[in-house]
Amino acid sequence: MERIPILKMGPFLLVTIQIDLYDRLALTLENDLINMVSQTGARGVLIDISAVSIVDSFMGRILGNIASMSRIMDAETVVVGMQPAVAITLVELGLTLQGVHTALNVEKGMELLNTKLIGNLEQDEEEEEDQNDRND
Amino acid sequence: MEIVREQDVVPFRNRVREFSTRIGMSLVNQTKLITAASELVRNMLKYASGGKVILEIISHNAKTGVRLTFKDEGPGIADIALAMRDGFSTGRSLGLGLPGAKRLVNEFDLKSNPGEGTTVTVIHWKHGR
């Protein structure tokens, strides 16, 4: 069976979609990604769709699902490299990809994930300090 | 072109792309048409377990465009007005398929009678209007 490869890069997972997905392949990817997040404890998922020429409502829903599922598993999702024609079409279709972070390219997407990771860590520390203050 | 399984969708989308490239449609308009076609073909597979699509290049009043006719012999749509509303779905989807597809193409026509199947015809002109 065909599969989209998922690469692990430090605390992040990297997926490059090189082909136009049919529905079952997209569902397999969703499933594989969530399992990988759980197995590796990844803190971020980066999905590169620069080679994808069509994102319809189904594919959009899958991207949204991946983002919400990852968030529950404590990982952020960034979708990068969307073609302008795809963005125009998505908005007219009525799909806003709520809850999905986006970035222009892989580099910017990585930066975004890194800032989010640091931000989350600081937040955790602050909460811990608050806790300690209260204990004092 | 017959569409009976999910794997037929990608080759079908490529055919639509071929047709729209042939008349020199811009990338944005191509993407809109293919996305609309993708929504409609998915509906056909999901609710009518497949059907036929006719692809044509048409000319009208010095305009050139692509016409796609989706024909199925499924259960049909009982309430077309409701089916065309954003966010309504009898399946477990976002309910964007029909209304979204209508927004993406220039002309959209849906005919359906319960028990007799559904025919959707869409036209997208070369210049998108």
pLDDT, one tens digit per residue, over A24-44 is 888 999 999 999 999 999 999
**Residue A78, helix vs strand vs coil:** strand
Please determine, for residue B113, whether its predicted confidence score (pLDDT) is greater than 70. Answer: yes
Q: How many CB atoms lie within 10 A of CB A108?
A: 14
Interface contact flag, B32 A92, Cβ < 8 Å: yes
Domain coordinates of chain B in residue numbers? 2-125
Q: Is B35 within 8 Å of A88 when comparing Cβ atoms? A: no
CA-nearest of B118, B129, B122 to B54 is: B122
Determine the CATH number of domain B2-125.
Answer: 3.30.565.10
Q: How far is A76 from A46, CA to CA, in rounded Å?
A: 8
| Least Cα separation, residue A95 to chain B (angstroms) | 8
Q: Note whether B86 and B95 are within 8 A (CB).
A: yes
Q: Domain residue spans in chain A? A: 6-135
CATH 3.30.750.24, applies to A6-135: yes
Contacts of B6 in chain A (CB under 8 A): 22-24
pLDDT digits (tens, 9 = 90+) for A61-120: 899 999 999 999 999 999 999 999 999 999 999 888 888 999 999 999 999 999 988 887
Q: Looking at chain A, list the stretches that DSSP marks H as alpha helix, in order from N- to C-terminal side.
A: 23-40, 57-72, 84-93, 106-135
Token reading at A14: 């990297």
B17, B35, B94: residue with CB nearest A89: B35
Residues of A in contact with B86 (CB under 8 A): 94
Alpha-helix runs per DSSP H in A16-83: 23-40, 57-72
What is the residue-averaged pLDDT of chain B?
89
Please indicate whether, in this complex, the C-beta atoms of A61 and B31 are within 8 angstroms of each other.
no
The SS3 call for residue A115 is helix
Per-residue pLDDT tens for B28-81? 999 999 999 999 998 898 888 888 999 999 998 889 999 999 999 988 888 888
Closest C-alpha among B67, B56, B52, B42 to residue B1 = B52
- Report the residue of chain B nearest A54, measured CA to CA: B35
Residue A135: predicted pLDDT? 67
Cα–Cα dist A13/B49, whole Å = 36
